[in-house]
Amino acid sequence: MTAPEVAFEESTARRSVESVPLSHVSIEVGHLYIEEFAGGIEGLKRHFARIAPWVAAARLAADDRAPTGRARISTCFMIDDYFSRFSTPTVVARQVLTAAESAGLVIDYFAREAGCAQADDIPLAELVLTQLVSDPVPETTGDRPPTIETGWLCNGKRSPALGPAQAMSGGRVWQPPVQNAANRHSIFLDVELWDYLDNGERQWSCPFLAAVWQLMRLGLLRHQGEGVTNPYLLDDWPDDWDRLPAVVKLNPNAAPFSAYRTFSVLGTRFLPIEHAVRTILSQVSVDPAVLDQLHTRSRAERLDLPKDLVERVEYAFVAD
């Protein structure tokens, strides 16, 4: 009599996850704050005229990477309605689309920054927070509070605090912070993920919301196995930002919103923010089932998809 064979596996390995539509590349053509909007439609036209050559270059690069020579490409535009509210969705969208058209650009999707905090009653920022796995620091005991408590995330070892020294021990010597896996010299970064408003409500930082935005565009977020980014086609636009979906589909014939890779054309002032975004993304633990699904799909399409999440995110920084 032979003993039965028993196989053990984690429940997450058996759990199915929704497969979301994917383009080859999602190109971000702008991130609008109240200061830019104050410049009126002429300021927006100058913005799109400045970035149009870089968008064209990104399209050519995407076609060159695609096995068929013709990539699925979607474009998106982000509006800040989280840190400040201005005008109405209808007015802002109309001006953005008119200005983009003047530079020969088509915007497929219009997104709200507040939608990176919560979309369709799903707390996306909280969801990503639970997926953070802090980069372990060599030769430390892990005695510092975790990121989920402090709201601060770094890419190495912080400089130790210089408190009072014990008697007869001599003065304490200052020690510099050290970047994990530094290339000869450290570039240490400590990122604030949130602070608090006067009413005690948590306010997410711009880099953290931008990291959520990248994960949305990469199609890597799931809530209970289901996709969280559902672009909506609207017949009538609301006047209230809170009633606008997180992502609105402007072009009925657009390629999918999410993509295997992202490319963002941004002003140079976004460079430090995106440095922080990449630090955050390097410490996000994406559901293995989602990663396996994307790699299976990319192999079926004969695409070269980097295993490192950060390497799927590309930029062009353009002087304002």
Question: Rounded to whole angstroms, how far apart are CA atoms 106 and 100?
Answer: 7
Residue 202's pLDDT is 95
Residue 106's pLDDT is 97
Question: Rounded to whole angstroms, how far apart are CA atoms 88 and 91?
Answer: 5
What is the average pLDDT score of the chain? Answer: 89
Residue 165's pLDDT is 54
pLDDT per residue as tens digits for the range 244-302: 999 999 999 999 999 999 999 999 999 999 999 999 999 999 999 999 999 999 999 99
Residue 94's pLDDT is 94
Percent of the chain with pLDDT over 90: 72
Residue 6's pLDDT is 43
Residue 289's pLDDT is 96
Residue 167 predicted with pLDDT over 60: no
How, if at all, do strands 109-112 and 190-192 pair?
unpaired
pLDDT per residue as tens digits for the range 121-149: 999 999 999 999 876 655 555 556 777 77
pLDDT per residue as tens digits for the range 58-83: 999 999 999 999 999 999 999 999 99
DSSP string, 8-40: ---HHHH---PPPP-EEEEEEEEEE-HHHHTTH
pLDDT per residue as tens digits for the range 169-219: 556 688 888 888 788 888 888 999 999 999 999 999 999 999 999 999 999
Exposure string for 171-208, b = 16+ CB within 10 A, e = fewer: eeeeeebbbeeeeeebebbebebbeeeeeeeeebbbbb
Question: Rounded to whole angstroms, how far apart are CA atoms 31 and 274?
Answer: 12
Residue 140's pLDDT is 55
Residue 10 predicted with pLDDT over 90: no
Find out whether 178 and 156 touch, Cβ atoms under 8 Å.
yes
Q: Out of 1-5, 106-110, 154-158, which region has the weakest mean confidence (pLDDT)?
A: 1-5
Handedness of CA 301, 304, 306, 312 (dihedral sign): negative
Class of residue 58 by CB neighbours under 10 A (exposed 0-12, middle 13-18, buried 19+): buried
Residue 266's pLDDT is 95
Residue 68's pLDDT is 93
Residue 86's pLDDT is 87
Phi-psi region at 224: left, alpha or beta (left = phi > 0; alpha = psi -120 to 50): left
Residue 142's pLDDT is 55
Residue 264's pLDDT is 98
Question: Rounded to whole angstroms, how far apart are CA atoms 204 and 192?
Answer: 9
